[in-house]
Amino acid sequence: MPIVEATAFFDQANFGENQLSRRQLSTENRATSKPAKKSRGRSPTVRQAQALLREQLADGPKPGELVEAAAEAAAIPERSLIRAADVLNVRTQRGQWWLPG
């Protein structure tokens, strides 16, 4: 099925026919619609991941493999762990993870 498929519609103002593609119609709808709200750190799994990161990194730097293993054991998805680390500004270098400050 082609992405751009022409769709004819009746233009009441000009009493003529205009050709718009589905892509153009979709673009027009996106331009007038409200942008999606970002819920950084608000989902339950991201909050759970934040708590795990605070607990794991409270005593200083720790190997990322251990932090990831703890998240996996707690059934925290990798994407939620990454979002939580981003929200908390977790720093990484040479496989070590730590909280700033």
Burial tier of 99 (Cβ tally within 10 Å: 0-12, 13-18, 19+): middle
Does one domain contain both 51 and 91? Answer: yes
Does one domain contain both 13 and 53? Answer: no
pTM: 0.60
pLDDT tens digits, 24-62? 444 455 555 555 555 555 799 999 999 999 999 999 999
Whether residue 98 contacts residue 61, with contact meaning beta carbons closer than 8 Å, is answered with yes
Identify the domain containing residue 9 by its residue range: 1-33
Q: Could you tell me if residue 13 is inside a domain?
A: yes
Q: Could you tell me if residue 4 is inside a domain?
A: yes
pLDDT of residue 76: 97
Does one domain contain both 57 and 93? Answer: yes
